[in-house]
């Protein structure tokens, strides 16, 4: 691919965001598949340690050039690293110890709604009554999935721990998406390198605690392949594509592509993990999907956009 073609690729948000979601879907599958082989914090730590090492080779020239700007904006970089790198994936991998991947994908469908809501609460982005209706309808659908269609579970406040952790992860990454507008004016690779390293360092004490008190990772062909996949594709590739997509079209429109997560993820979970589709998944989808279109309004996910400025 020549330089001109690469430039066109980086300006095509639909493709960038679709690729980001596709590889993130594989991340859920891998996290569920290796849950008995790799402890959750260990998977998160080695994912970001590996991604930090690999991206540093590409980012180093830009990091040297951007260093003064990075030092001047360290508070927001630490916050974005915490909610978008360290906590999000650790919560996801931990949640997948107790819930199935299909549940995780369907709960993930709440993220675009939360992005719209947080954009309004934090930055007063306009939200219509139609969007508000979509927010509540999707929330009810997601709640049906979390409680697995059992109203008694809701009344007794006895929810699946894994589902709750996935929900916290979704809220964390929604905040990351909205706050990307506050990222400093540095090169995309500098931003990836800094946030990946900070996120990995944040996980060090939790990784040591898990390894000493519970269980540690044992590297073999299976675990190395899993760590290699999550370090390259859902980390470097997906984060670069997603961050660039948000830069081009804004958090609200970029978030709509996350609705592809249940599509990609459900197919992968059924094909690769042998999971089954339950009736409460169907009920949740029947409520989430109308909520998606209500909340999206004219921002249909595959509508071609001409917006190229930062949000």
Asked if residue 246 lies in contact with residue 239, where contact means CB atoms within 8 angstroms, the answer is no
Hey, how many other C-beta atoms are within 10 angstroms of the C-beta on 152? 8
Predicted local distance difference test score (pLDDT) of residue 116: 85
The kind and range of the H/E element at 217 are none
Asked if residue 261 lies in contact with residue 173, where contact means CB atoms within 8 angstroms, the answer is no
Predicted local distance difference test score (pLDDT) of residue 311: 35
Structure tokens at 8: 């066109």
Predicted local distance difference test score (pLDDT) of residue 255: 80
Predicted local distance difference test score (pLDDT) of residue 187: 94
Hey, how many other C-beta atoms are within 10 angstroms of the C-beta on 76? 13
Residues of the chain with pLDDT under 70: 1-10, 101-102, 105, 145-148, 152-159, 262-263, 265-267, 269-270, 273, 275, 292-293, 295-311
Predicted local distance difference test score (pLDDT) of residue 101: 66
What 238-241 contacts at long range (C-beta under 8 Å, 24+ apart), as own/partner pairs, is 238/19, 238/20, 238/21, 238/23, 238/24, 238/27, 239/20, 239/192, 240/188, 240/189, 240/192, 241/16, 241/17, 241/19, 241/20
Predicted local distance difference test score (pLDDT) of residue 144: 75
What are the residues whose beta carbons fall under 8 Å from the beta carbon of 227, sequence distance 6 or more?
38, 43, 46, 47, 50
Q: Is the CA virtual torsion 8, 25, 264, 79 positive or negative?
A: negative
Q: Give the span between the Cα atoms of 4 and 266, in whole angstroms.
A: 36
Q: Is the CA virtual torsion 310, 79, 53, 51 positive or negative?
A: negative
Asked if residue 278 lies in contact with residue 121, where contact means CB atoms within 8 angstroms, the answer is no
Report the candidate in 277, 78, 106, 259 with the shortest Cα–Cα distance to residue 179: 78
Predicted local distance difference test score (pLDDT) of residue 223: 92
């Amino acid at each position: 691919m020549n330089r001109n073609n690469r430039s066109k690729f980086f300006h095509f948000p639909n493709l960038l965001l679709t690729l980001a979601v596709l590889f993130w879907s594989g991340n859920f599958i891998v996290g569920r598949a290796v849950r008995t082989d790799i402890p959750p914090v260990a998977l998160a730590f080695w994912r970001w340690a590996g991604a930090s090492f690999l991206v540093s080779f590409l980012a180093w020239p830009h990091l040297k050039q951007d260093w003064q700007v990075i030092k001047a904006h360290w508070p927001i970089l630490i916050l974005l690293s915490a909610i978008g790198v360290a906590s999000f994936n650790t919560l996801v991998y931990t949640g997948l110890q107790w819930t199935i991947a299909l549940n995780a994908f369907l709960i993930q469908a709440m993220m675009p709604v939360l992005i719209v809501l947080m954009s309004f609460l934090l930055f007063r982005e306009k939200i219509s009554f139609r969007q508000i209706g979509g927010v509540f309808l999707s929330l009810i659908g997601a709640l049906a999935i979390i409680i697995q269609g059992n109203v008694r579970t809701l009344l007794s406040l006895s929810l699946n721990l894994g589902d709750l952790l996935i929900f916290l992860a979704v809220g964390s990454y929604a905040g990351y998406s909205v706050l990307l507008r506050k990222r400093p004016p540095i090169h995309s690779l500098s931003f990836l390198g800094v946030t990946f390293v900070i996120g990995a360092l944040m996980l060090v004490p939790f990784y040591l605690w898990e390894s000493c008190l519970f269980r540690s990772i044992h590297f073999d062909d299976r675990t190395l392949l899993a760590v290699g996949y999550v370090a390259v594709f859902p980390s470097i590739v997906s984060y670069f594509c997603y961050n660039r997509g948000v830069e081009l079209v804004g958090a609200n429109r970029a978030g709509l592509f996350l609705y592809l997560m249940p599509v990609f993820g459900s197919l992968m979970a059924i094909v690769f993990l042998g999971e089954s589709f339950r009736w409460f998944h169907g009920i949740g989808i029947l409520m989430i999907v109308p909520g998606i279109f209500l909340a999206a309004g004219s921002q249909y996910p595959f509508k071609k956009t001409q917006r190229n400025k930062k949000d």
